[in-house]
Structure 1
Amino acid sequence: MTQTRSARPWYRRMTGRRRDEPHRTSTPLELFFDLCFVVAVAQAADNLHHALSEGHIGLAAGHYFMVFFAIWWAWMNFTWFASAYDTDDDVYRITTLVEIAGALILASGVPRAFTEGDFATITFGYVVMRLATIVHWSRAAAGDPAHRPAALRYAGGVFVVQLGWLLRLMLPDSWQIAAFLVLVIAELLVPALAERPGMTPWHPRHIVERYGLFTLIVLGEVVLVTSVAIQTGIDAGEHQLWSLAAAGTVIVFALWWLYFDRPVEMPDQLRQALFWGYGHYLIFASVAAVGAGLAVEVDHESDNPHISQLTAGYAVAMPVAVYVMTLWALHVRRRQHRWLTATFLATAALVLLTPLGPAPAHFVAVLLFCLVVVTVLVRRLSTAPESTAPDAAAGPAGVHG
């Protein structure tokens, strides 16, 4: 029987949840966690837009990927932990709210990171989030003897890496990038090493749902950024932006369709599961960057002197191409369908060529529309024998459309 909020004890042992638990869905706390993290995503995308519009392309891309790593990694670690050990007691809730507070601190430091290269506030917010994660894993180690080695490796690994992030702030500027890359590798290695004694009881279908929901939230951020940018241009008398608005709408719709075209299946093996989970960094980052790119296109159409057509075109084409390639690697490749693979790869290549011609965003929209059409046709053809074959038990009524 499900306990009510008033009947739930303030503290529970973290014994781990079952990997085959039926009806495992996202909790209100997880959804609230996602919504708060979107503040940081919005800050990253908005500052990427402004940096690109001012012509700081290389610096903008570097800062964006560094900031987005902090956002994505903290979100991902909480997501996998909650899938395995969500007790929903008061201690768990308070610890999670501390993580959310860290995300808000991180978000407040994003503008300074882009404009001044100062990552101190982002680092402090990130460390707050990760220290709360150590509390989670320490509780899991105490309450789940079967997975105690994994939980202790998580807690110890996270603690050591956080010391590294704080020490990085004291290094000279010439060492900052190298130190960042080393610490990123260290962060990525913690789950890979921690899970080896025996995988923690994360729920595959729950993880798939959580990733899908965050994809939806980031897509919603793209819609918001694009609509605000176009509204600003139209209010300034730039009525030619209506066609760009249509192209942007088709792009966002296509990104959604391609991700959710079929039910997503997550691999059970640790190596493949980590590849799938880590690969979504490019999914989330590229989707948010599409919104920034469309805003840059609006600036270009509004005669911003700092933006060339080539820059504006690649601001949209590059993240779209990354999205298509990553989606192929994570979802489509496993279907082993030659024509679908060829179409995805060809679409990514053609998208990268669109900035060399006129109206690149419009051509990107056309290419994505064609990719959606091919994806739908392949799906229908691959399921046609099952869907058109009569059901012997059901008779004529067993035919499905």
Structure 2
Amino acid sequence: MSTGRSPTLRYLAGSTEATHASWLELFFDLVFVAAVSELARLLHGDLTFHGLLVFCALFVPVWWVWMSFAYYADLFETDATHFRIALLAGMFGSLVLASTIGVAISPDGRTLDGAHGFALANAALQAILVGLYGYARRAARAPGTAPDAPGAPRPGAGRDAPQSPPQNAALRQLCGIYVAGFGCGGALWLASVAVSAPWHLALWALALLVEIATPFVAYLTVASPPAHASHLPERLGLFTLIVLGESVLAVAWGARGAPSTPSALPVAFFTFVIAACLWWVYFEHVDHRVIINALTSGRSSLVRGFAYGYGHLLIFAGLAATAVGSEALIEHAAEAHMPAGAGLALTGGAAAFLLATTAAHLVIRRPLARRLVAVRVAAALGALLLGLSSTAFSPLAETAALAGLLVLLTWAEVRHRREAPGTT
């Protein structure tokens, strides 16, 4: 570990290989287990349309905090002491954010309750990001490279030594846009504390809009945005596993209650099959170079890269809703008919995941065949129909039907993999 090294871009330097997540990044991801659990608990306590709206509204800022820090760590080498301290501070801020989720939005939306804590936590997290990008902007000197940049010439190096990538001016401009955008977003979060309910929610929405638009503005306005060796697809996959872990926990709790409720164990088994099939569908088509290709292949590829990264919002939310539905159905396993909200959370979450995953897989280097796209869309529609008619079924019948549908989809995925050229 270097104590004083400035942040340096992860230059491709002629290599097209992706980098990998650091131990600190993995630690950071684990903190968001608490945030996802709080969001799941919130939806579990209110399986109504209003509860779903609140769940979705709060999922966006939680996802965006994770995405913002993940992308900074993807863009720069992050082994320096100052970054470790900043990320650890971000982890604590994320824990505070998680602790306020349950009271961030009141049932009527007209009282502040825990809204101030939620807003202040977001403002603090944006301030950390502003500091990180501001420091990186100052360190990116032009001409030349930041200290210790990979590929930078060393003192006394010969004329055949690798020349420093001429990207620092673009990098400074990029970081400046991030500082302005995230600074504006943080100011809006802070200003919402002084606004009466429910107008504070409008400022929250505006803050998120500004922050989420900032990367678009940065990469579409900088003439030659710097290309870097990205491991963001790996981070997205790891976060997918974290959210899938909520379904695994639901199965464990269901198995624990099986002796007192005989039907709980079969329902838990089918919910595990559902989680396993969703894992299979996602990880069957992971492309570790999708972000690198987006950064090096022109504006149209760049837009596709944004679609891939931002599309994971619906993937994560769908998986979280599926986990909530799984837990609720296991709890009602002994009943002849189940609550409509529980069935719809399970099947609707699975449908949202399938549609969002399909959209993400359509923008990678080797997109899905039309036949497989049609099969996935059909499976998503079938899941939605099951959810809309869920009150007519028992939890066992509902989970068995969805599990069977997803097993058929997984079988189609395996056949497509075998028939696709260049695969094993």
TM-score tier, shorter chain, comes to: 0.7 to 0.9
Matched, 1:218 2:250: no
Q: How many residues align?
A: 370
Equivalent of 1:93, from 37, 60, 84? 84
Matching of residues 209-358 of structure 1 within 5 Å:
209-228=234-253, 230-231=254-255, 233-234=257-258, 237-264=260-287, 265-266=289-290, 267-268=293-294, 269-303=301-335, 308-332=338-362, 335-355=367-387, 356=389, 357-358=392-393
Equivalent of 2:410, from 372, 375, 379? 372
Matching of residues 14-29 of structure 1 within 5 Å:
14-19=7-12, 20=15, 22=17, 24-29=19-24
Q: Give the superposition deviation at 1:263.
A: 3.3
Question: Contact conserved, 1:226 with 1:291, CA < 8 A, in 2?
Answer: no
Question: Contact conserved, 2:17 with 2:229, CA < 8 A, in 1?
Answer: no
Q: Give the superposition deviation at 1:180.
A: 3.3
Q: Which amino acid aligns with 2:214?
A: V
| Corresponding position of 1:164 | 188
Q: Which amino acid aligns with 1:207?
A: L
Equivalents in 1 of 2:332, 2:140: separation in Å? Answer: 56
Equivalents in 1 of 2:106, 2:250: separation in Å? Answer: 20
Equivalent of 2:57, from 35, 46, 66? 66
Equivalents in 1 of 2:318, 2:312: separation in Å? Answer: 10
| Corresponding position of 2:159 | none
Which consecutive residues of structure 2, in runs of 5 or more, have no partner in the other structure?
142-167, 295-300
Q: Which amino acid aligns with 1:29?
A: L
Matched position secondary structure for 2:5? coil
Question: Contact conserved, 2:285 with 2:361, CA < 8 A, in 1?
Answer: no
Question: Contact conserved, 2:31 with 2:95, CA < 8 A, in 1?
Answer: yes
Matched position secondary structure for 1:239? coil
Equivalent of 2:179, from 148, 155, 167? 155
Matched position secondary structure for 2:311? helix
Question: Contact conserved, 1:153 with 1:194, CA < 8 A, in 2?
Answer: yes
| Corresponding position of 2:75 | 84
Equivalents in 1 of 2:257, 2:362: separation in Å? Answer: 38
Percent of aligned positions with the same letter in both sequences? 29
Q: Give the superposition deviation at 1:311.
A: 2.2
Q: Which amino acid aligns with 1:361?
A: T
Q: Tell me: CA distance 1:352–1:273, structure 2 relative to 1, closer, same or farther (3 Å).
A: same
List, as ranges, runs of 4+ consecutive aligned residues in structure 1 with deviation greater than 4 Å: 114-117
Q: Tell me: CA distance 1:112–1:34, structure 2 relative to 1, closer, same or farther (3 Å).
A: same
Equivalents in 1 of 2:44, 2:256: separation in Å? Answer: 14
Matched position secondary structure for 1:51? coil
Q: Deviations over 1:22-69 (max 9, x none)?
A: 4621100000000012111111112211222xxxx1221122112211
Matched position secondary structure for 2:46? helix
Q: Tell me: CA distance 1:381–1:263, structure 2 relative to 1, closer, same or farther (3 Å).
A: same
Which consecutive residues of structure 1, in runs of 5 or more, have no partner in the other structure?
388-400
Q: Tell me: CA distance 1:333–1:370, structure 2 relative to 1, closer, same or farther (3 Å).
A: farther
Which stretch has the larger CA shift, 342-351 or 117-126? 117-126
Matched, 1:40 2:72: no
Question: Contact conserved, 1:219 with 1:252, CA < 8 A, in 2?
Answer: yes
Q: Tell me: CA distance 1:336–1:295, structure 2 relative to 1, closer, same or farther (3 Å).
A: closer
Matching of residues 154-193 of structure 1 within 5 Å:
154-193=178-217
Q: Over the residues paired in the alignment, what is the CA RMSD in angstroms?
A: 2.2
Q: Give the superposition deviation at 1:179.
A: 3.3
Equivalents in 2 of 1:293, 1:34: separation in Å? Answer: 23
| Corresponding position of 1:392 | none
Q: Give the superposition deviation at 1:182.
A: 2.7
| Corresponding position of 1:397 | none
Which stretch has the larger CA shift, 112-121 or 211-220? 112-121
Q: Which amino acid aligns with 1:64?
A: F
Q: Tell me: CA distance 1:14–1:284, structure 2 relative to 1, closer, same or farther (3 Å).
A: same
Equivalent of 1:128, from 124, 131, 154? 124
Q: Tell me: CA distance 1:321–1:333, structure 2 relative to 1, closer, same or farther (3 Å).
A: farther
Q: Deviations over 1:234-270 (max 9, x none)?
A: 36x2111111111101101001100111332515132
Which stretch has the larger CA shift, 216-225 or 194-203? 194-203
Equivalents in 2 of 1:89, 1:188: separation in Å? Answer: 27
Question: Contact conserved, 1:332 with 1:340, CA < 8 A, in 2?
Answer: no
Question: Contact conserved, 2:355 with 2:377, CA < 8 A, in 1?
Answer: yes
Q: Deviations over 1:376-400 (max 9, x none)?
A: 10111113xx57xxxxxxxxxxxxx
